[in-house]
Amino acid sequence: MIRKAVIAVILLMTGLGSFAQYGHMPSRVNTYSDDGDGNGFLKQNLFLGGSLGLGFGTDQFNIGVNPEIGYSLYKWLDAGLVLNFNYNSISADPTGYYNPDIGEKQFIYGGGVFGRAFVLPFLFLTAQPEVNWISTTETYEGTGGGTYKSNTSAGSLLLGAGYSRRVIGQSSFYIALMFDVAGSPNSPYNDISGHPLPVIRAGFDIYLHGHR
């Protein structure tokens, strides 16, 4: 599954690259640094930051912290590594309408890679393949109920779009809406019925060697 996710990201970024190279000329909010000694590594294009994640659905809530480190490869493309630390809860439903009176709590940790392709100075498309390890506690509230614990893992591919204010070499702010399209039944981004939840992440990055 992860191999397929990585291939999908590569194909997506290749297509976006072909589009962006012949697209708009970025404004100041998408300024790229030409300082340095040519086409090599530019330390002012390295950034550190992260986001807060929020997911919601029927009787379900998800919140997490996602630190990241990345690099502005081009005017139109950022890429990097991200870590996940999430908490997910599902409320028991005594009516049995949404779930058979089962409460669930999950602690999730993992990570992956991300890419953000700016098709406009303020608009980007994003792809994020990742792997998460999930510790689950289920509590059966009905007659003869009990508590059960399990551990599992799942691969995910978050795809979506977002808004950003970005000055390469200084800082950036973004907010993104994504969905997990990998289809894993163990995905922490699914609701109780296995359907993907909307994942909203708002983040802030600071370039480590900003312009003075």
CB–CB of 86/70 below 8 Å?
A: no
Burial of 34 (0-12, 13-18, 19+ CB in 10 A): exposed
Q: Quickly state the pLDDT bin for 184 (edges 50, 70, 90).
A: very high
pTM: 0.72
* pLDDT exceeds cutoff 90 at 9: no
| Count of other CB atoms within 10 angstroms of residue 110 | 19
CB–CB of 70/205 below 8 Å?
A: yes
Shortest CA distance to 160 belongs to which of 123, 190, 121? 123
Amino acid at 135: S
Q: Quickly state the pLDDT bin for 104 (edges 50, 70, 90).
A: confident
- Among the residue ranges 115-124, 158-167, 170-179, 185-194, the one predicted with the least confidence is 185-194
* pLDDT exceeds cutoff 70 at 151: yes
Report the distance separating Cα 42 and Cα 48, nearest Å.
Answer: 15
Q: Quickly state the pLDDT bin for 5 (edges 50, 70, 90).
A: very low
Average of pLDDT values for 149-170? 93
Average of pLDDT values for 95-123? 85
Residue ranges and CATH numbers for the domains of the chain are: 2-30+43-207 (2.40.160.20)
* pLDDT exceeds cutoff 50 at 35: no
Shortest CA distance to 189 belongs to which of 7, 52, 61? 61
Report the distance separating Cα 3 and Cα 73, nearest Å.
Answer: 23
CB–CB of 73/114 below 8 Å?
A: no
Q: What pLDDT sits at residue 64?
A: 87
| Count of other CB atoms within 10 angstroms of residue 174 | 21
- Among the residue ranges 55-59, 63-67, 182-186, the one predicted with the least confidence is 55-59
Q: What pLDDT sits at residue 96?
A: 58
